[in-house]
Structures are given as structure tokens and as C-alpha cells.
Structure 1
Amino acid sequence: MTMTRIVSAAALALGLASTPALSFDIGAMTEDERAMFRDEVRGYLLENPEVLMEAIAVLEQRQAEQAEANDVAMIAANEESIYNDGYSHVAGNPDGDVTLVEFVDYRCGYCRKAFPEINALLESDGNIRLIYKEFPILGQESVTSARFAIATKLAHGDEAYGEMHDALMTLRANATEEVLARMADDMGYDSQEILAKMEDPEVNRQIEENHLLAQRLEISGTPTFVLGGQMIRGYVPLEAMQEMVAAEREDS
């Protein structure tokens, strides 16, 4: 627990943080006044330690509410880039009444853990529009995989991208260009055409745009989901995701 949180919680506990009449500036106190204040706080908290925990809980709740409000504002300010960028792959039902956006990295363990559950979500609910945002952040194999997926879409279209996305999510080998090329050939696609498309400036543009969007949304990890006005950072089990989708549907 940091000293800032202790002082904030102590002020809450003593009613000093929210009562204008009792506002104070520790820096303006004399040494004797500071000593008396420290003794009063210490004595009170020793006698009533549960108050400190209650105050910390209030402080954390306020911080969580502020974070949620910030997420709503950031999503609203970037709505077009999130939901209608013109290049991100759309899975599920393109005309669904709920849109779920996933920032994904193919080498992310939690993205892979979420992968079958997201598929199960789409299968159990035929009215979800799912948008994938290629967001490689875990090293060169992540970048290579994302570039290969985008190049597959440029070379062979949306259906091919969907198949390649699934294959990359379950790939156990190292994601080198040679391995990915063999995989594409085995899937019936022209690997040389895909490799050539990886050099297309459009591939770089899409990845750069997604990184810039992630910066604006203060997203630094994967998977991160955007659902309505909320951001869901990290893996969420299927049942919890179904409940969130149901809540979003009710609110919209």
C-alpha cells in the first residue's frame, strides 16, 4: 500500500477529504501540528483498523468508476475507427444487433484461450457482429503472423482470412514465413502470392492504424474487447461474455 493511498484513505476515514469546512493543507502546518495530526491518525487507525479498509474500498470504487467513465469517453471519441474502419475483418453476423471488437495477437496465450469460447459465443448467438483488430505486440512472430493474415485477405478475400485467422490461432509451430507459407499451401492458397502481398504498404498501414487506435484507447494488452461503451481487458470466460452481451442488448 503506497503512502498516497494511506493518506487519502486516512483523510476519507476522518472525514477530511470530503468536508470543505475541514479541508487542510499538510504543507502549511507547523511541525507541532504535523506531529499532532500524525498521532491522531495513527491512534484512530490503530483503534479502528476496519475504517481504513472501508476507506480504501471507497477510494478504489471511485477510481473504478472514473476508469469506466474514461473508457466510455474514449470509445465515443473513436467510434468510427473502432466499428467502421473499412479494413478490419468482420465475422459472425455482419448485420448483428450487438458488435464485439477484439484486439488480438496470434501469439498471445490468453487470446488462444479465448478463441474457442469466442467461437462458441458466435455459435450460440447468431446476432453478434465480431470485428478483429490485428494488434501484434508480442514480438516478431506476432508481427509476421498479423502481416500474413492481412496479406491473405488482400490476396484471397474475407473467407480466406477467416480460415487463416483460425489456423494462426491454433498454430503450434514457430510462426516463420516458411512455416506459414507451407500452412497456406496445405490450405489450398497461393503462398507466394500471400508472401508478396506482405510487402504491400496497405499491410503496414492497417497495423499502424490499429496501434494508433489502441494508444488512443489506452489499450496495451491482448485480448482487449470493446463492447458498447465498455472495454474488457483480458480473458473473459464464455458465460461472463454471454452475460455482458445480454446486458449490452438490453441497454441498446
Structure 2
Amino acid sequence: MRRAALAAALVAAGPGWAETDILDLTSAERAALRSEIRALLLEEPEIVAQALNPPSPVAQETQQRIADDKALLAALEPEILNGNRIALFIGADCGTCARAAEELAALSREYGATFILHDTGDTAAARLADRLGMTDLPFYVLPGMILRGHIPKVVLPRYLD
């Protein structure tokens, strides 16, 4: 709103303002400009925030990828978790998958957290892992998050709370 008023004032000033050297203002012109700028910044402080924190294309792209990943995970969670608290993806040629499955089974008994095991040797499980973009096994899926790699038995309970 204030921007529009400032723009209208500049247009109304006509050619005289256009001919004014912004670096060579009179004291009265400088005071008037300072007053308008101050009023504008008080009314719309986000102008300063935008100037001090310009948008970063890399950060915006990263935030978009995160949002896309979260949306994909939310869409696939019912199929992946199938009513369970945790899903564990394992597969052949995985040195830590058997241990991860054993530890998760023990934690499930201890904490009462249900889990589902997806073996990527199965086509449907492999497709789910592929849709998630996950290539390294094992990995865990919980509501709203994916945990890559074998999570030690002493660490995993904190994700169950």
C-alpha cells in the first residue's frame, strides 16, 4: 500500500523529480525522502528482511526437494507401514541386514512396537524402495521419516517414543 503511494507521489512529481539528481538533494528534499523511506520501512519491515536475507536458489531447491520427499513418503506410508510403527527394508548382499532385522524383532518384543519387514528380493518391496529413491540397505521407514543404514539397538528406541 505504502509502495503504491510512494510510486504515485513520484509519478505526480512529474518531470521535475526525474531531473533531480538523487545524489545532489537539497536538505528539504533529503528530509522528505528520508521521511518517506522511514515510513515505508516501518509499515513494511519485510523489505529489510528480504534485503538482508535474499532468497537462495540452492536453499529454495533443497527445500522443494525436502517437501517433495515428505509428500512422497506420506503418500507411500500406508503401503509401506501397513498399519505398523516401523518398516525395515533388507535384501541380499547386505552385511548388516540380518542383524538389523534381529535387533528390530527384539525391540518390537521389548517395546511392543509392531514392524513389517520388506525384503527387496520381492518385486513389490524392490519397487517401493526404488520409488523412495533408496538404494542402500538396510533402511527404516517410520511415520514422516526414513533412517538410512543399520541403526544400533541402543539408538533405535528413541525413534519409538
TM category, shorter = 0.5 to 0.7
- 2:140–2:148 contact (8 Å) kept in structure 1: yes
> Which secondary structure does the structure 1 equivalent of 2:159 belong to?
helix
- Amino acid aligned to 1:83: L
How many angstroms does 1:67 deviate by? 5.8
Aligned counterparts of 2:80 and 2:136: Cα–Cα separation in 1 = 16
Deviations 1:94-146 (A, max 9, x none): 8xxx61001111441121232332132112112x111111113xxxxxxxxxx
How many angstroms does 1:68 deviate by? 4.9
Aligned counterparts of 1:115 and 1:211: Cα–Cα separation in 2 = 17
In the TM superposition, 1:127-146 aligns within 5 A as 128-136=113-121
- Amino acid aligned to 2:111: D
Residue 96 of structure 2 corresponds to which residue in structure 1?
110
- 2:88–2:101 contact (8 Å) kept in structure 1: no
Q: Given the alignment of the two structures, is residue 122 of structure 1 paired with residue 108 of structure 2, yes or no?
A: yes
Query: Structure 1 residues 134 and 68, CA, compared in 2 at 3 Å: closer, same or farther?
Result: same
- 1:71–1:229 contact (8 Å) kept in structure 2: no
Query: Structure 1 residues 228 and 113, CA, compared in 2 at 3 Å: closer, same or farther?
Result: same
Aligned counterparts of 2:87 and 2:120: Cα–Cα separation in 1 = 12
Query: Structure 1 residues 233 and 70, CA, compared in 2 at 3 Å: closer, same or farther?
Result: farther
Aligned match of 2:73 in 63, 72, 75? Answer: 75
Residue 138 of structure 2 corresponds to which residue in structure 1?
223
Aligned counterparts of 1:68 and 1:124: Cα–Cα separation in 2 = 33
TM-score, length of structure 2 as denominator length: 0.55
> Which secondary structure does the structure 2 equivalent of 1:131 belong to?
strand
Residue ranges of structure 2 left out of the alignment (5+ in a row): 1-50
- Amino acid aligned to 1:105: G
> Which secondary structure does the structure 2 equivalent of 1:109 belong to?
coil
- 1:214–1:220 contact (8 Å) kept in structure 2: yes
- 1:105–1:111 contact (8 Å) kept in structure 2: yes
> Which secondary structure does the structure 2 equivalent of 1:79 belong to?
helix
- Amino acid aligned to 2:152: P
- 2:89–2:140 contact (8 Å) kept in structure 1: yes
- Amino acid aligned to 1:120: A
Deviations 1:191-240 (A, max 9, x none): xxxxxxxxxxxxxxxx2222222221111121111001100111111121
What's the C-alpha RMSD, in Å, of the aligned pairs?
Answer: 3.1
Report which of the two has the higher share of helix.
Answer: 1
- 2:81–2:87 contact (8 Å) kept in structure 1: yes
Count, aligned residues: 109
Matched residues, percent identical? 29
> Which secondary structure does the structure 1 equivalent of 2:87 belong to?
strand
Aligned counterparts of 2:107 and 2:96: Cα–Cα separation in 1 = 16
Residue ranges of structure 1 left out of the alignment (5+ in a row): 1-15, 24-58, 85-93, 137-206, 247-252
> Which secondary structure does the structure 2 equivalent of 1:78 belong to?
helix
